Each structure stands twice: as structure tokens, then as C-alpha cells.
Structure 1
Amino acid sequence: MKYMKFLTILLSLLILTACNSLELNTFDNIVQKKPEVKENTQNKNKDAITIWATENIFEGAIEEYRSTFPNKEVKVVIQDMDNLVNIYQESIISGATPDIFMIPNNHLGQFSGIDGLENLKEPPYFEESYFSQYPDGLLRSAVDISGEKMYAMPLLSFPYVTFYREDILEEYGYPTEPKALSHYLSNKENFMRLASRLKENNHYILESEQSILIMLNRSQNYFDSDLQYLGEQGSFKKTIDASILIQENELSPHLNIWDNQGKEALKNDELVMFYMASYGVDLLQSWVPEQSGKWKIAELPFGLTGVEKDSGSSLAISSTSEHKLLAWEFIKIASRQMFSMYSEPREVEFFGGQEVNAIYKDILERGQKGQPLPLDRKAKFLWDVELSEFNYGKEITPESIEQLEKSIFETIRIDQRAIQNMLDNNPSMNESDQ
């Protein structure tokens, strides 16, 4: 499958991505509403499966599906991104669902721990030969908090990576081999040393102090399986601390790589490092074709393992579907086609012949720390508000981050308690942790 086709699909998805309202049923209310046992009116055609999606990216999958099942049809119904979670959850509660839900990965947590979606870890879906083709970390992204239910199959996944000018780092005596560089930058102090040294010659290793916080929010989970907020520990906290230090030490060029000024900074060797999902490999070649052979990619700094949530998506089967096995056959075709972009080695001439898929697959194998949870939506809303204020001039300080975290803890408190009560009162869930 051609990579520019994936890029076109991705850019369409990015345009459609939008924030949902914070107003949402609490987790306690959602899990207590069981799907009604009533006739599914969404798909009366026994020869067709229906998919609810944010964008129709299934042309290739539909073609292959029809060649395998000549008398079967596929209907794709586009849903409103702004109200997607509510539309999906209300359909699950009423039982009037499609056969397949396409779920943007930044909303996966809203479907963890609720009834209404099939468990792909159980028969008739689970096939060792099929699942073994996918990285473990990627598959874990749609496993619910119990650890027992896989409620969706990954469709689109874009690992987050560091893009860097190999020639300039070599000139200043810094590591240039991808693994060596990511190891060096896993240390926050090393990151700051590199930023300070390169700034002396008008080179910058990030667009802005806000950009690494945006990277953090687009590529990381907010909570772990113990319902603990990850922002207070490990790589997540190191990234936040680095953004504060970048601002304090005036090491930011205050750029945006998506506008003309940002692209000009790439061309004049001002911006020599940035962080983006894997689709950046194609974009960078179109932005600065004259710099072919000078760039490389590596894993993220601070020990982060990131996969972009905003552009990724997964597919889930409704428990009220009358075509579950056909839906599963379609999902297998679609996910296999999309993952094929990483299946074979890909040496990119622009990046000096670097084999980029090896790095992507390593990231997907390890996966992100933590997991999607129903708590995510409120945490993301508060982070989005704060990031907007940072972009409009509010300083990133220990105090502003502390206040943000306090707001997150206060906002999720009721849902956090409801989820913990569910775990405490469900022996099968507790057994999965033992």
C-alpha cells in the first residue's frame, strides 16, 4: 500500500479531530446501564455489515472483503466527531448499534470496562496465528482495566519519534546513532545541555516549550492500571520538568513547524530537532527536499515510548451485532492492510537509507506506559485548557503544573472511586492482577 495514501488518510483524520465536551455521564452511571435486549434496527440486511466511522478509509479493505465474500456488502456511516462518544455509548445502551465501531484512539478509554463490545481475546475471535503477527504493546492498548477483555483491534497506529539533523549533532560531538541518541536524551540533564549548547549557534532542538507538552499529551496515557496519574512520575514528569526549564532558561525559538516560519526554520538550520508521529517521515521530505541525507529518526527523549492517539483508531464489534463473525473477518482484513505499512523493512533515502520500520516496531512492541481509561476524557480536557493558556502566554511553572494536577485529581475523584469499587466488587477482575 502506498505511503502517500496513508498520509492523505491521516491528514483527513487530523482535520476532523476535535475536542469533545467535558459534560459526560460519570463512569458509575455508564457501567450500570446494561444494553437493552431488543431487536437491532441498525442493520436489517443479512448480507451486509454496517460500520460507524469518522472517515471512510476502508476502500481497500472493502474490496478485499467483497472478493472473499462476493455476496456480502459493507455500509460505512460517517458519524459526527464532536459527539462521537455520546453517540456510541447511547447506541450501546439502547442496543441499536452498528456491527462495527471505529473508535479514535484518544477516546478508547471511554469504552474500557463497559458492557456492549465483544471480547476479542475469547473464541470465536481469538486466533493465536493472527494475533501473533502484531506487537504486544499495540494489542495491549485496547485491553480493559481488568486485563481480561480486549474490546477493540488496532487499525491505525503512528509511533511518535524524534527527528534530528545527524550532520549538525555530529559537528558538535553528540551521539548520532539513533539508539545512542535516544539513550543520551533519556537523561533530562543531557537534554538541557544539548539545548543550551546548540542555542549558542542558533540551533534549537524543539519548536517551543509548549511543543513537548503537546507531544506528551498526544502520545502518552494519563493513568496506569492502578488508576494512578502518570504525570507525577517517571518519563511523564521528566518531560514536564524539562518544559519548565526550557522556559526558565529561554531555550525556545517559539516556533510552530506547521506554519511558514516553522518551515523556514527547518530550511535555515535553525530548527534541527523536533518530535512528531511517524507520518512526519513523509511530510519532512516535502518540506525540505534539499536536506536529503541529513536527517535521522530516533525514539523520544526522556525515556518516553509514544504512539499518537489523535490520529490513531481501533475497531470494535458490537455485542448486539447479528453479523459478528463477518464483522470480525472484515476487521482482520482492515487491520492487516493498515499494519502492512510496518510489516516490511522500509529504507528511506531521504534519511540516509535508514530502516525506519525497525524503530516503529520496537516502539509498538513495548507500547505506552499505562492504559486508556474512562478517566482520560476529563484529564485531557483540563490539559487542553491549560495548553491553550500556555500557547497564549501563560508561563509554564511548577505552580501552574501543580494547580493543573490538583484540578485533575478533584475532577476525576468520583469516577476514580467508582472504578475502584467496581474492581473491588468483581472477583474476576481482581484475579487478573494476581
Structure 2
Amino acid sequence: MIRFWRLTILTMLFVMTACSSYLTELTPVSLDTEDSQQSKDTHGKKDELLVWTYYDTTETDRQFLKLYPQIKVKTVRLKYEDIADALIKAYGTSESPDVVFLDSSMAGKLNGLDILSDLREQGNQVGRFEQQIPADMLPQFSDVKMDKLIALPIELSTAFTYYRADLLEENGFPANPDKLAEYLSEPQNWVDMAIKLKEKGIFLFQHYTDPIEVAAMSSSILDRNLEFAWDSQTFQDAIYVAREIRRNGLALRSSIWDPSGEQALRDGQLAMLHGGPWTTDSLKNWAPDQAGLWRVSKLPFRLYGYRDGAMISITKDSEHKSEAWKYVQTVVLLTKTSDDSGKESYLGGQDPKSMAKSYAQFNKGIYPTPLDAELKDLWDKNIAGIIESDQSIAGQLSLLKEQMEQVTEEERTIIKEAIESKDE
């Protein structure tokens, strides 16, 4: 019964998406064009722009009000873990926001629902922002059919390997970013390094699943053909490393988000992390006295990846789309202005922002879908058993692929049919 209900809802969502259209044609608004009294008169229910966010946007709002003092803005801050579900629940009610800040990890949950506005409806100006997004990353900010741009990134949060260059060099391992990336392209090298460093009380992994999380940064769980993608050689290599971590006790068994893990990092017991450019600020807070000791490099296995980052959208039922677009433009332009390239002393003079922009063009395999959460739950229930097993990794992933595709066969068929009919 539950499965029938889920299929019915998914079918309804795509039928609604296919049949929906705007009742009125939106008028492109220039960034430097002020709102008129007519704009206020045509929006009946609300007299202010309602913005939902999961982080502090005080400075953004202050700058926006300087540019557009005639536009009233009310900003509501929700919890990170609640904002996507709250948006879905509020859609179509008077509580629905006009603008919403989301995390790209929420894309799969939302891109199958027809609740976010197609930003391209705002006119040609959208193109200059869209051109800044690498083509292979567009699915992250599009609906599942790839015919609507439903969000703009606040930043392209390219994933890096963060590492203590001093600790690696002291123990005979490459400290140069390029040489380290080449060394870690081989799974066995990563294991050998971890074994040797453990002898000195230094860890490269927080948990034995870390290599698999790194692999997942480079690929969505389904590919563009809606086929299971996590059975590739990359994931086989990652599971091999995870097995070796478990067998040899190479994991710290504590996270940097826990007090014990944070203390281990400060004590020089944790020498490697993987995350987006925001990790730099986190390290500054966790270990300010380690300035100049950390560096960034590419991900292991010659991977390019993406770590979740903020994005901004306009809701489809917003009554203030022109004002909302002004807000979105201001946010993105302010971010670009403050995101100018520059050397980072904490990272020994490296320029991670320029590196992130350079690496972003190589990010592939990103295609979030409404089935991601269900499939990730199945993955999590099975992956520990695969790591703990001595059976063939390729064989077990093949069986898991078959199971996951079978479980979601009907849902994937509905999505495929919706995608194929988008041009009809």
C-alpha cells in the first residue's frame, strides 16, 4: 500500500509539472531599474519580500536594502535540516516564502516537485549567471527534466583534500599538492600512508567509510540514464580502502564535528580532511595556531568532486517575482565580489578559490533525482556488510545495483517517461 501511494504521488507530481504554466508572462527587470508603485499594486496578499534562509544573511539584507530601500524584506531563519521539508509544506499557502536559500544536498528532494520558479523566466539577464556554472554541474541547479533552471549557486563548492603538509613531509610522504594528488591516485598508496602514519599516532581517516564518502562527492547515485552509478571502479577502489582501514584499525573513530575529533585535530592526530572551500574557515576556528601548516589538493583517485554548498531559488507561487529576482541577483553579485581570488595564509599562500573555480569545470556525474534519499538509505543499509565481507567487491556491488534498480523500477520508469515527454 505504501509503495502504491508513493508511485501515485510521483506520477501526480510529474503530470502537474508537465501541465503547469504561468498565468501571466513575467517581465524581465533590469538590476538597476527601481520598483514602481505599479509593482506594489499588482501583488495583493503580501506587501513585503519573504526570504527563508538556514544561515545568517544579515549583511546581504543590509546591502540589498541600500540598493532597494523601497522593497520591504522579511527574513526568517530556519534550521538547516528543516528548511526543505518546511518549504514543501508551505507551498501554496500564505506562509510560502518568495526567496529561499537551500543547500545543494536538497536538490534531489525538490527537483521533482514543481514548486520552484524557472529562473530563465526572468529574462536574458539570467544567462550571464548561468554561464558561470559548468555545463556538467547544471543538473545540480535544474529540475529533473533539465528544462528549468530552478536555483543559482551561491558558490561552486568544489571538494578538496585538506592535509597537514608538515606531518606528511616529516614522515617521508609528498607534501606538494600535485605530487600528493598523484600519489593518492593509487588506492594502495593511501592505505600504506595511513599504516605508516598510524605508527606515529596520526590518522588520515575519521571513520572507515571516509573513502566511500569521497567517491560519492564525484557522482550522484543515479546517472543521466537513471541507472545505478555507484558500482564503478572508483567505488570498488574506495571500498577496498575502507576494508583495509577497518582491518588495520586506521580510523580515528571520531568526527571533527565531535569534541573528541576536534581535539584530535588540534593535537595533530588528524592529518587529512575532505570538503569544500568552507573547510578553510572551519579549520581556522578549530585550530587557529595551525596556520600555514595545512594545504589543499585534488581528491584521491584522480577525482574531481563537489561538496554541498548554498544555492538560492524563487518559489513558483511567489507574488513578488521581479523583486525576488532583484534579491537573487544582489546575493549572487555580492558573493562574486567577496569571492575574489586571493592567497590564503592559513594554507601556506595557496589560492583555494581560484583552484575551486578551475576544478569545477571537471565535475561530472552530478544528477540529483527524487529517488536519491530512498536509494541512499538502501545503500547505507548494505555498505557496511560489503566492507565487512571478504567476497568480491565487484560482485557484491553488481548484486546491490540489481536490487536497487529493481526496487525503484516503476519510479524510474515514471521519471524517464516524464523526461522523454518534456518536448512534446
TM class by smaller structure? 0.7 to 0.9
Identity among equivalent positions (%) equals: 23
Q: 1:286-324 CA deviation, whole Å, 9 max, x = no partner?
A: 433443322211122123323222xx3322223333322
SS at match of 1:297: strand
**Mapped partners of 2:396, 2:78: distance in 1:** 37
SS at match of 2:160: strand
Partner in structure 2 of residue 244 of structure 1: 243
Does 1:332 pair with 2:315?
A: no
**How far did residue 227 of structure 1 move?**
0.9
CA contact (8 A) 1:107 1:377 kept: no
Partner in structure 2 of residue 343 of structure 1: 340
* Mapping of residues 294-313 of structure 1, within 5 Å: 294-309=293-308, 312-313=309-310
**Mapped partners of 2:68, 2:289: distance in 1:** 47
Identify if the C-alpha distance between structure 1 residues 70 and 233 changes in structure 2 by more than 3 Å, giving closer, same or farther.
same
CA contact (8 A) 2:218 2:363 kept: no
**Mapped partners of 1:297, 1:411: distance in 2:** 40
Q: 1:30 aligns with which of 13, 17, 32?
A: 13
CA contact (8 A) 1:56 1:76 kept: no
One-letter amino acid matched to 2:357: K
Root-mean-square deviation over aligned CA pairs: 3.6
Q: 1:354-389 CA deviation, whole Å, 9 max, x = no partner?
A: 2222222223333352211111121233345568x7
* Mapping of residues 249-398 of structure 1, within 5 Å: 249-309=248-308, 312-345=309-342, 347-383=343-379, 395=388, 398=393
One-letter amino acid matched to 1:331: V
Identify if the C-alpha distance between structure 1 residues 257 and 111 changes in structure 2 by more than 3 Å, giving closer, same or farther.
closer
One-letter amino acid matched to 2:12: N
* Mapping of residues 110-189 of structure 1, within 5 Å: 110-121=109-120, 124=123, 126-133=125-132, 139-155=138-154, 157-189=156-188
* Mapping of residues 379-418 of structure 1, within 5 Å: 379-383=375-379, 395=388, 398=393, 408-418=404-414
Q: 1:221-277 CA deviation, whole Å, 9 max, x = no partner?
A: 222211122211143443233212322343334333333433443344432222233
**Mapped partners of 2:389, 2:359: distance in 1:** 29
TM-score, structure 1 as length reference:
0.77
CA contact (8 A) 1:154 1:315 kept: yes
Identify if the C-alpha distance between structure 1 residues 403 and 336 changes in structure 2 by more than 3 Å, giving closer, same or farther.
farther
CA contact (8 A) 1:136 1:366 kept: no
**How far did residue 178 of structure 1 move?**
1.4
SS at match of 2:159: strand
Q: 1:63-110 CA deviation, whole Å, 9 max, x = no partner?
A: 222222221112234557666545434555679843223333222123
* Mapping of residues 1-20 of structure 1, within 5 Å: none
**How far did residue 195 of structure 1 move?**
2.3
Partner in structure 2 of residue 5 of structure 1: none
SS at match of 1:227: coil
CA contact (8 A) 1:142 1:372 kept: no
**Mapped partners of 1:52, 1:291: distance in 2:** 36
Partner in structure 1 of residue 101 of structure 2: 102
CA contact (8 A) 1:195 1:205 kept: yes
TM-score, structure 2 as length reference:
0.78
SS at match of 1:159: coil
SS at match of 1:331: helix
One-letter amino acid matched to 2:51: I
SS at match of 2:146: coil
Runs of 5+ in structure 1 lacking a partner?
1-22, 429-434
Greater C-alpha radius of gyration: 2
Identify if the C-alpha distance between structure 1 residues 234 and 343 changes in structure 2 by more than 3 Å, giving closer, same or farther.
farther
* Mapping of residues 3-82 of structure 1, within 5 Å: 26-33=9-16, 44=44, 47-53=47-53, 55=54, 57-78=56-77
Identify if the C-alpha distance between structure 1 residues 241 and 120 changes in structure 2 by more than 3 Å, giving closer, same or farther.
farther
**Mapped partners of 1:326, 1:71: distance in 2:** 10
Does 1:419 pair with 2:418?
A: no
**Mapped partners of 1:157, 1:421: distance in 2:** 31
Identify if the C-alpha distance between structure 1 residues 203 and 143 changes in structure 2 by more than 3 Å, giving closer, same or farther.
same
**Mapped partners of 1:79, 1:255: distance in 2:** 28
